[in-house]
Amino acid sequence: MAKYDPLRDYLRKQQLSVIELSFKDVEEIIGDSLPRSAVSPQWWANTTEWSGHVQRESWRAAGYDAFLIAGKSRVRFQKSL
């Protein structure tokens, strides 16, 4: 199981179109710490152009896009259109 698979599984079970989680919530879901780079919007980018961003694949596979809430250590997951 990849590090971010539990996040994918968690999001797949959700019925809401928008879910807001704290970094702590995400860390509890994945059972590990987020990297320091998670404070950067680029870490949460939804682009398909970058390779090697395995975390992105977890929420994309669940049908969500992710958006960092600046200065809050929180992220909003929104159902992809």
Domain segments of the chain: what residues?
A: 5-79
Q: What are phi and psi of 38, to 5 degrees?
A: -65, -15
Residue with tokens 């970058």: 50
| Residue 1 pLDDT exceeds 80 | no
Tens of pLDDT, residue by residue over 14-71, are 999 999 999 999 999 999 999 999 999 989 988 766 566 789 999 999 999 999 998 8
For the whole model, what pTM was predicted?
0.91
Q: What is the pLDDT of residue 52?
A: 66
Q: What is the pLDDT of residue 31?
A: 98
Residues in the chain: 81
Nearest to 43 by CA among 29, 19, 26: 26
| Residue 8 pLDDT exceeds 80 | yes
